Amino acid sequence: MTGILDKKDLEAKADTIVERIHTYLDAGKKVFTSSSFQSQSLPLLHIISRVDRDIPVYYTNTGFLYPETVQFADQLKRDLGLNVIALRPETPKIKQLDTAGRFFYASDPDHCCYLNKVQPLEPVLMEHDIWINGVRADQSSVRAAMAEEEPATHGCMRYHPMLGWDSKMVYYYRKYHDLPEHPLEAQGYQSIGCEPCTLKAGEGNERNSRWFGMNKTECGLNTTLVAGGN
């Protein structure tokens, strides 16, 4: 990583996001965010803590998450004073098996993601107006095609404040604000999801370690829950 980013420039970008979220709130919009509680999630969570710590921060404890991720979520809830809310899948794990007795993550990962990630969040979208979503354009071609603001499903609007940020900006924002890193990052993990579908970092894009060897790059939150998504 070469070149040091100016702290004032990053703060100006963060201030713009703060102002935008305040605009939604001042207009009476019901706002929430979702988080995977990875190191890359920290700038947005920190910015949200500067706006209103009552803004709900949802994540789904799928039952397949690394214990370190759940512990990290609890740590950030304490350290940043966040309103973290853990969702649970409607379908118990014992019923997430195919006819051969295999978990869906092995035989039908798209359906597994629907049950464990998409379905639990759908009622949240129905109850809110604005979904603050931390996708970045440099993470995948799907995300690169997104706009800063676009319709989600269930009448909700997605706001992507981090779309123009990259990993270097995330690194320096965390550095300037002394924000922690996910405990598995030091072990070589860069993109951390459910344990069965996550490997240590490989070549190329940071998300290449997710669903390795499968024709899959997204869990559905950023495809199925986009208006017009599949």
Question: Looking at residues 166-188, what average pLDDT do you find?
Answer: 93
Is residue 219 scored above 70 in pLDDT? no
Alpha-carbon span 115 to 174, nearest angstrom: 33
Is residue 206 scored above 70 in pLDDT? no
Closest of 174, 132, 170 to residue 17, by C-alpha: 132
Bigger pLDDT: 131 or 230? 131
Is residue 210 scored above 90 in pLDDT? no
What is the reported pLDDT for 197?
Answer: 86
In whole numbers, what is the pLDDT of the chain averaged over residues?
89
Question: Looking at residues 193-209, what average pLDDT do you find?
Answer: 68
Q: At 216, is the pLDDT very low, low, confident or very high (cuts 50, 70, 90)? A: low
Q: Pull the structure tokens for residue 5.
A: 């980013």
Bigger pLDDT: 44 or 208? 44
Q: At 207, is the pLDDT very low, low, confident or very high (cuts 50, 70, 90)? A: very low
219 is catalytic: yes
Q: Using only C-alpha atoms, what is the Rg of the chain?
A: 17
For the segment 84-107, what is each residue's pLDDT rounded down to a tens digit?
999 999 999 999 999 999 999 888
Catalytic residue among 112, 156, 197, 219: 219
DSSP code string of 140-203: -HHHHT--SEEEBSTT-EEE-TTTT--HHHHHHHHHHTT----TTGGGT-SS--BGGGB-S--S
For the segment 113-162, what is each residue's pLDDT rounded down to a tens digit?
999 999 999 999 999 999 999 999 988 888 899 999 999 999 999 999 99
For the segment 1-18, what is each residue's pLDDT rounded down to a tens digit?
457 888 999 999 999 999
Q: At 204, is the pLDDT very low, low, confident or very high (cuts 50, 70, 90)? A: very low
Alpha-carbon span 122 to 115, nearest angstrom: 11
Domains and CATH numbers, the chain: 7-209 (3.40.50.620)
Cross-strand partners of 97 = 103
Bigger pLDDT: 210 or 149? 149
Residue with tokens 């001042």: 26
34 phi/psi in degrees, rounded to 5 = -120, 155
Question: Looking at residues 64-93, what average pLDDT do you find?
Answer: 96
